[in-house]
Structure 1
Amino acid sequence: MTQADPRPIVAVVGATAAGKTALSLDLAERLGGEIVNTDAMQVYRGMDVGTAKAPVAERRGVPHHLLDLLEVSEPASVAEFQELARTTVADLRARGVTPVLVGGSALYTRAILDRFEFPGTDAALRARLEAELDAVGPMALHARLARVDPEAASRIIPENGRRTVRALEVVELTGRPFSASLPTLEYADPRTVQIGVDIDRPTLDARIEARVAAMFDDGLVAEVERLLDAGLADSRTASRAIGYREVAALLAGELGEDEARERIVIATRRFARRQDAWFRKDPRVVWVPFDAPDRLERALAAVASVEAVDSYAPGGGHGPGGDCRRPPAG
């Protein structure tokens, strides 16, 4: 690899349970790549079953990065994750390795791929807004955001109090709409490709239901029990993960098991629809059918289409780049 021929950045995106993990591993094997996690909850140690984290035995020997970084009691920050992920991607490319990003957190993915700078923070202001959130609830704070920054409010679900607090903090700090700091549809490096796993809704709904059942069979309740002892309930971020809050309610005697399962299925389906809507708005995503026999070849063709872009040459590409597949040993 030369400086003028860096590895492409490949991101596999789409709804939860669509089949992103399998495709990302297929791509990593064919491209001589390594996996970079972009799931906001898989950064937590011990959150394995409920986040569908691929067990080590199922990773096909492909190295994985940015998993198990934090204890559940620690808050996660997309700004900190952006820095870690971009450093990881740069290190992989410097070694001639193709980074294959995979995860369902659209904001984390965009924060890595796109031009996206985070405004600063103010601890006192943040504390005041969080106290207001506790006092009046997320809906009231979201209504305030809708008055001062309608565009940002339209992108944040009313129940997500933490993101609403962050948006209001930025508005007060900068005097500009929070939406002005959101990522634009412009890759930080033009040698980037997003591959979306396209799946029909009935099939996805059935897969989500099957996944939830498998999680209970694989020990989700015991996992949540352990994490509650480790401080899960007091976490500002990990405690909001789908599946964990419902099982915590089950363990507290607030829900029966059947109701907890049903709530997880419903919440996951809603989340999957939001994921799909977010990625569908991005015209740069190349979609491949989840069940197409040639889906890997289609994905590889999408990767090949960015190989010719020279991110180091003034004004863009001037010729084809090298083959991004790892050469055979020997």
Structure 2
Amino acid sequence: MNIQNSKYDLITILGPTASGKTTLGVALTHALDGEIISADSRQIYRGMDLGTGKDLEEYTIEGKTVPYHLIDIVDAGYKYNVFEYQRDFLKAYEGIVSRSNPVILCGGTGLYLESILKGYRLLPVPENKELRDSLASYSLEELTEKLKAYKELHNSTDVDTCKRAIRAIEIEEYYLTQPADERSFPKLNSLIIGVDIDRELRRSKISKRLKQRLDEGMIQEVEALLETGISAGDLIYYGLEYKFLTLYCIGKLTYDEMFEQLETAIHQFAKRQMTWFRGMERKGFTIHWIDAKLPTNDKLEEIYKLL
């Protein structure tokens, strides 16, 4: 199967956490002799491995490592954003195309996926000190309600902390007066594949994977990041595993509280991811859903038929 003979510029594999999208994306990339671009907002950070579920060993099939991009590209502690992602995606995409290789975009960060598939460039938003100062005394609940006045909240990582909520409001306020430039990002025609996983199976896999990663040293990973001088606040900013494990490491949560709250947060996150993907469908994106329980080869056959 050769994607160059199809009508598509790239293939997108998306799905909620623990759906098996990376396994499928890597298998497809290997089968097509292509290269994979990650669409995960946290796997870009070096040293954040277990908590982000990089599973880099999955990228080697039959002794051959599938070329991957936008993983481990910036240091932990940095505040990477969607504007930088669009820039870095284009650089990676153009490089892959220049090598005449198929491009597979794979991940679960809806904002990153949509920023590529929509076909317009987002503008970097400068800091608005006056706005930030005016919001400084607001509670997280008040900021959340204020942000809801601007947009529907598909992705609650925007309101994970007051700092992130204020930044999200700052961005929305900026776009009220500065519409995005629609001319400078290429319109890419993508076949979009969604990995459809049953809710109970997803919950079971999330819980099993969390226990496994804790056994593999996820707490030690967070401790090591703190020891390098990254502040607890900066790690908490990344949400989910890094939020709750950091709170445990600095003594704000017991182990049992950390585990219970983190497990619940990951389940909620997976649900929000599906809400985002359904929202994409309502906006006109066609997502071809493939049953997560199918063997990988059967999934690949489904994709070949669509191509």
The TM-score by the shorter chain falls in which range?
A: 0.7 to 0.9
CA contact (8 A) 2:42 2:238 kept: no
1:140 aligns with 2:139: no
CA contact (8 A) 1:199 1:290 kept: yes
Match of 2:208 in 1: 210
Match of 1:295 in 2: 299
Relative to structure 1, the CA distance from residue 12 to residue 57 in structure 2 (aligned partners, 3 Å threshold; closer, same or farther) is: closer
1:113 aligns with 2:127: no
Highest Rg: 1 or 2? 1
Pick from 51, 71, 77 the counterpart of residue 75 of structure 2: 71
CA contact (8 A) 1:35 1:101 kept: yes
Structure 1 residues 234-253: aligned runs within 5 Å: 236=234, 239-253=237-251
CA contact (8 A) 2:232 2:246 kept: no
After superposing the two structures, state which structure 1 stretch, 241-250 or 152-161, moved more.
152-161
SS state at 2:75 partner: coil
Give TM-score, length-normalised by structure 1.
0.79
Distance 2:117 2:236 in 1: 24
Instruction: Tell me which amino acid in the other structure corresponds to 2:271.
Output: R
Deviations 1:162-211 (A, max 9, x none): 564345334544545x9x7599xx98222x11110001000000000001
CA contact (8 A) 1:36 1:85 kept: yes
SS state at 2:22 partner: helix
CA contact (8 A) 1:6 1:93 kept: no
Match of 1:219 in 2: 217
Match of 1:169 in 2: 170
CA contact (8 A) 1:36 1:102 kept: yes
Distance 2:181 2:240 in 1: 24
Structure 1 regions of 5+ residues with no counterpart?
305-330
RMSD after superposition: 2.9
1:31 aligns with 2:17: no
Structure 1 residues 94-105: aligned runs within 5 Å: 94-105=98-109
Match of 2:188 in 1: 189
Give TM-score, length-normalised by structure 2.
0.84
Cα displacement (A) at 1:276: 1.0
Distance 2:279 2:147 in 1: 23
Match of 2:92 in 1: 88
Distance 1:230 1:252 in 2: 15
Identity, in percent, stands at 29
Deviations 1:103-161 (A, max 9, x none): 111101111222232234233x1x344444442133223333444x3xx1444537244
Cα displacement (A) at 1:5: 7.8
After superposing the two structures, state which structure 1 stretch, 239-248 or 12-21, moved more.
239-248
Relative to structure 1, the CA distance from residue 286 to residue 254 in structure 2 (aligned partners, 3 Å threshold; closer, same or farther) is: same
Relative to structure 1, the CA distance from residue 30 to residue 241 in structure 2 (aligned partners, 3 Å threshold; closer, same or farther) is: same
Deviations 1:268-293 (A, max 9, x none): 00000010111123331111001123
